């Protein structure tokens, strides 16, 4: 057991941004707020046989990478916002740690070491968050309405007056939003506001989706319209599920869209569609992914988990044909609309299917493609790469696996699992991998990896056992992620 006055030497940072040390008994201690290289005292909150969890109490030797947080609501104090976990760590060190997390996961979970480590993809570290889900709570006992992320390790909403990772104009809107909700008849039945900001060439478009559990009164509708006119906001209403989302005023300003100017593309979207949180990083990421994929004008490409066509349409500007496959019928429909909008309908086709249930014959049914782009959710693409491994072991006549695969991941654990299958059973080399700092100041690790088919590859005498599926091996507790 760690004594209250024991000094601990922190030698690492885990994926939850906790310092990692060992106490006098050799037991691992995870310390919230501590950084590598620091000598600290900590208060133990939880004990298990092999580890303890603690909170920083005092620093005897401070890390050179410790910085002043950019937000007054960040910290370990009561009521602190839980949206960010790394504001006390220098930005360059945050990126280095995320790169190390990626490397460690690839090796320890997938037994894969990339031949090349890519330079991390970076961008703005403040005001970057163009999507967010803000909780709303009318606290009757205190007579206030709170709008923001949850408190650290709590179901309560943090008392936020500003937010440094939201766009400045949205941060400045937090207190007015609190006043608006407090004035509404339905203030006790409004649990959530979802933010979506578009950044098309026409300028920023800000949409707020209000979740309401009962019909809004005419007076509440008028209050929303007045607020929207004053703050330049489009209000959308969500009475039930995502399919019920609609504009409060159908004629209220331009559509939401984001641009991919390097490819001459404009991508309209609805406020509840999945789009990347960080639009600047997304633009860089699309350019990076296509450069790594190395598509030629005469080639066919398949974009797995294509969403609303974020990579698909960019690929269509460089290839002969692109097939985008996605599990959501709604997003597939949006992809087709975007292809028509950008004049790429003749080079693209789309299909909706469950990509978590794939087998080798399914791959053959979609046809051969020289190159694949895979961009799955946190669960990864286990069924897809397992089907590819099955094809390698039992070839299907007329079907050729892709020569090159670029895999964009939002979970290093599931990427590592899938990389292990690709390298040890499907006949691919791990060419390169690198971190993508999509969510600065949070513990969220985005990454990109490249795999190249080994011509003439044969099965080893004793094939490596397939890794077990990992549904969500890395917990995500950041509200801001």
- Quick one: tokens of 149? 């992320």
69: helix, strand or coil: coil
The yes-or-no verdict on residue 464 having pLDDT over 50 is no
Q: How confident is the model at residue 477 (pLDDT cuts 50, 70, 90)?
A: very low
- Burial class of residue 352 in the structure, from the number of CB atoms within 10 Å of its CB (0-12 exposed, 13-18 middle, 19+ buried): middle
Q: How confident is the model at residue 440 (pLDDT cuts 50, 70, 90)?
A: very high
Torsion region of 147: left, alpha or beta (phi above 0 gives left; psi -120 to 50 gives alpha): beta
Known binding-site positions for S-adenosyl-L-methionine = 276, 305, 310, 326, 354, 375
The yes-or-no verdict on residue 385 having pLDDT over 90 is yes
pLDDT attached to residue 284 = 96
Backbone angles phi, psi at 269, to 5 degrees: -155, 160
The yes-or-no verdict on residue 449 having pLDDT over 70 is yes
Residue range 335-372, pLDDT digits in tens: 999 999 999 999 999 999 999 999 999 999 999 999 99
312: helix, strand or coil: helix
- Spell out the residues 6+ positions from residue 158 whose beta carbon is closer than 8 angstroms to its own: 73, 79, 80, 81, 82, 83, 146, 148, 149, 150, 151
Give me the count of residues in the chain: 481
Average pLDDT score over residue span 240-261:
90
Residue 5 or residue 471, greater confidence: 5
Indicate the average pLDDT of the chain: 92
Q: Report DSSP letters for 243-270, one per residue.
A: GG-EESSTTSSPPPEEEEGGGTEEEE--
Residue 252 or residue 184, greater confidence: 184
The yes-or-no verdict on residue 436 having pLDDT over 60 is yes
- Spell out the residues 6+ positions from residue 211 whose beta carbon is closer than 8 angstroms to its own: 190, 191, 192, 193, 194, 238
The yes-or-no verdict on residue 473 having pLDDT over 70 is no
CATH fold of 7-66: OB fold (Dihydrolipoamide Acetyltransferase, E2P) (2.40.50)
pLDDT attached to residue 474 = 35
CATH fold match for the domains 7-66 and 109-122+280-453: no
Helices 412-424/91-110 angle, 10° precision? 40
Known binding-site positions for [4Fe-4S] cluster = 71, 81, 84, 163
Q: How confident is the model at residue 471 (pLDDT cuts 50, 70, 90)?
A: very low
Known binding-site positions = 71, 81, 84, 163, 276, 305, 310, 326, 354, 375
Residue range 134-174, pLDDT digits in tens: 999 999 999 999 999 999 989 999 999 999 999 999 999 99
pLDDT attached to residue 153 = 87
Average pLDDT score over residue span 258-266:
95
pTM: 0.91
Tell me the CA distances in angstroms from 436 to 128, 280, 443, one per residue in order. 14, 12, 12
pLDDT attached to residue 478 = 43
- Spell out the residues 6+ positions from residue 52 whose beta carbon is closer than 8 angstroms to its own: 1, 2, 23, 27, 28, 29, 30, 44, 46
Backbone angles phi, psi at 384, to 5 degrees: -65, -50
Residue range 24-43, pLDDT digits in tens: 999 999 999 999 999 999 99
The yes-or-no verdict on residue 392 having pLDDT over 80 is yes
- Residues marked as catalytic: 410
pLDDT attached to residue 388 = 97
- Of 370, 365, 362, 308, the closest CA to residue 337 belongs to 308
The yes-or-no verdict on residue 461 having pLDDT over 70 is no
pLDDT attached to residue 457 = 46
CA atoms within 13 A on the CB side of 109: 20
Residue range 57-93, pLDDT digits in tens: 999 999 999 999 999 999 999 999 999 999 999 999 9
Per CATH, the homologous superfamily of domain 109-122+280-453 is Vaccinia Virus protein VP39 (3.40.50.150)
Instruction: State in words which class domain 131-258 has.
Output: mainly beta
- Of 44, 144, 12, 32, the closest CA to residue 77 belongs to 32
CA atoms of 81 and 75, how far apart (whole Å) = 7
pLDDT attached to residue 456 = 53
pLDDT-above-70 percentage for the chain: 94
Torsion region of 111: left, alpha or beta (phi above 0 gives left; psi -120 to 50 gives alpha): left
Contact 426, 401 (CB under 8 A): yes
Domain ranges of the chain: 7-66, 109-122+280-453, 131-258
pLDDT attached to residue 326 = 97
Q: How confident is the model at residue 253 (pLDDT cuts 50, 70, 90)?
A: confident
């Amino acid at each position: 057991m760690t004594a209250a006055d024991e000094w601990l030497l922190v030698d690492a940072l885990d994926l939850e941004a906790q310092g990692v040390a060992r106490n006098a008994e050799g037991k691992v201690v995870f310390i919230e707020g501590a950084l590598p290289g620091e000598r600290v005292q900590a208060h133990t909150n939880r004990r298990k046989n092999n580890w303890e969890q603690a909170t920083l109490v005092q620093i005897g030797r401070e890390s050179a990478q410790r910085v002043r947080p950019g937000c007054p609501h960040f910290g370990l104090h009561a009521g602190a916002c839980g949206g960010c976990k790394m504001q006390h760590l220098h930005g360059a060190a945050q990126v280095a740690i995320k790169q190390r997390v990626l490397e460690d996961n690839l090796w320890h979970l997938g037994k894969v070491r990339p031949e090349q480590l890519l330079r991390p993809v970076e961008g703005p570290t403040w005001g970057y968050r163009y999507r967010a889900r803000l909780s709303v709570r009318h606290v009757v006992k205190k007579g206030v309405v709170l709008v923001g992320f949850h408190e650290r390790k709590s179901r309560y909403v943090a008392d936020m007056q500003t937010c440094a990772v939201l766009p400045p104009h949205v941060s400045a809107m937090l207190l007015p939003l609190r006043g608006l909700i407090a004035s509404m008849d339905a203030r006790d039945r409004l649990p959530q506001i979802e933010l979506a900001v578009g950044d098309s060439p026409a300028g920023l478009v800000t949409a707020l989706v209000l979740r309401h559990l009962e019909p809004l009164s005419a007076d509440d509708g008028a209050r929303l319209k007045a607020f929207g006119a004053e703050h330049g906001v489009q209000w959308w209403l969500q009475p039930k599920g995502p399919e019920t989302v609609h504009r409060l005023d159908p004629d209220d300003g331009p559509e939401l869209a984001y641009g991919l100017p390097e490819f001459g593309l404009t991508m309209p979207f609805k406020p509840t569609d999945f789009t990347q949180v960080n639009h600047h990083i997304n633009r860089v990421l699309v350019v990076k992914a296509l450069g790594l994929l190395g598509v030629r004008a005469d080639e066919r490409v398949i974009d797995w988990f294509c969403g609303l066509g974020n990579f698909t349409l960019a690929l269509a500007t460089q290839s002969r044909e692109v097939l985008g496959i996605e599990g959501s019928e709604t997003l597939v429909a949006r992809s087709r609309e975007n292809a028509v909008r950008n004049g790429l309908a003749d080079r693209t086709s789309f299909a909706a299917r469950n990509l978590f249930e794939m087998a080798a014959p399914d791959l053959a049914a979609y046809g051969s493609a020289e190159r694949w782009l895979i961009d799955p959710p946190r669960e990864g693409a286990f069924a897809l790469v397992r089907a590819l491994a099955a094809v390698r072991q039992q070839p299907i006549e007329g079907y050729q696996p892709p020569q090159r695969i670029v895999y964009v991941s939002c979970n290093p654990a599931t990427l590592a699992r899938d990389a292990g299958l690709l390298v040890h059973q499907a006949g691919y080399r791990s060419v390169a991998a690198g971190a993508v700092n999509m969510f600065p100041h949070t513990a969220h690790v985005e990454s990109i990896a490249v795999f190249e088919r080994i011509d003439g590859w044969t099965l080893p005498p004793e094939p490596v056992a397939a890794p077990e599926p990992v549904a969500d091996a890395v917990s995500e507790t950041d509200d801001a992620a």
